[in-house]
Amino acid sequence: MQIAIDGPASAGKSTIAKLIAKNLDFVYCDTGAMYRTVTLLAKENQVDYGNESGILELMHDHKIYFVNKTDGQHVYLDDKDVSEVIRTEEITNNVSQVSAIKEVRTELVEMQRKMADNTNIVMDGRDIGTTVLPKAEVKIFLIASVSVRAQRRFKDNQERGIDVPLAQLEDEIATRDYKDSHREISPLKKADDAIEVDTSDMTIEQVVERVTEIVNEKK
């Protein structure tokens, strides 16, 4: 069974996807972490975020992969655990430029499909239901208002010691949503057969319960 969870920034995709995967004992794949790691690769090598050939060359020279540990999934760039450094403001605010590059998407989508091959998987991102796994049995489109999503990110940042004003986070989220929804290749879009869940007024437990209901109906 394949479960695709898409939606805008900070809607709760990865939190919900991880819990659903854990409950069902499915593999989890955070595709956003892959785009973030490619962005980090560009930054570390001082390659411009719009330099298509430079970024592709770096992708061919380096390895991006996941390692499952007791505390969850970690993303690696070569032999380095980059799970934390890919969440900085610098990466967050530039990832949409890198993820709009056609060849970057082609290569990452191929890796994602390989991970899902013959596996029970929960995958979250922007184009999972539309492009990566169009035949997924369950497609969820998670949304929440921009202000709720900014508050969630604000809280996350506080816990990690990052201090960005709430109004700035709202702007950043709205800008990233706009870029992700308006790019040419596989933009953020609800698949026709996806079920939309507005989580603005829902707790994590309530969202997990709702998604579990949807999965059980499909089983």
Q: Residue 217: which residues within 8 A CB-CB, separation 6 or more?
A: none
R_g over Cα of the chain:
16
User: Which of 20, 207 has the CB closer to ligand CDP?
Assistant: 207
Cβ proximity to ligand CDP: between 193 and 219 the closer is 193
Helix, strand, or coil here: 64?
strand
Selection from 190, 19, 21 nearest residue 122 by Cα: 21
Query: Is 13 known to sit in a ligand binding site?
Result: yes
Is residue 11 a contact partner of residue 144, using CB atoms and an 8 Å limit? yes
Candidates 60-68, 76-84, 162-170, 196-204 — which segment interacts with ligand CDP by CB under 6 A?
196-204
Strands laid side by side in the 64-69 sheet: 64-69, 72-77, 80-81
**Per CB under 6 A, 127 contacts ligand CDP:** yes
User: Which residue bears the tokens 């790019």?
Assistant: 183
Q: Which of 21, 55, 191, 202 binds ligand CDP (CB under 6 A)?
A: 202
Q: Does position 11 bind ligand CDP by CB under 6 A?
A: yes
Q: Does 199 bind ligand CDP (CB under 6 A)?
A: yes
Q: Is 172 in the site for ligand CDP (CB under 6 A)?
A: no
Looking only at Cα atoms, what is the longest distance across the chain?
A: 49
Q: Is 9 in the site for ligand CDP (CB under 6 A)?
A: yes
Structure tokens at 8: 């805008």
Q: Which residue is nearest to ligand CDP (CB)?
A: 32
Instruction: Look up residue 170 and give its two tokens.
Output: 């709202």
Task: Name the one range near ligand CDP by CB under 6 A: 3-11, 21-29, 41-49, 162-170.
Answer: 3-11
- Tell which positions 142-171 bind ligand CDP, by CB under 6 A: 152, 156
CA distances from 57 to 38, 52, 90, 108 (A): 11, 9, 22, 14
Examine residue 139 and tell whether it contacts ligand CDP (CB under 6 A).
no
Give the shortest CB-168-to-ligand CDP separation in angstroms.
15
Of 66, 103, 59, the residue nearest 82 (C-alpha): 66
Verify binding: residue 36, ligand CDP, rule CB under 6 A.
yes
Summarize the annotated binding site as residue ranges: 7-15
Binding residue numbers for ATP: 7-15
Interface ranges with ligand CDP (CB under 6 A): 7, 9-15, 31-32, 35-36, 95-96, 99, 125-128, 152, 156, 176, 180, 199, 202-204, 207
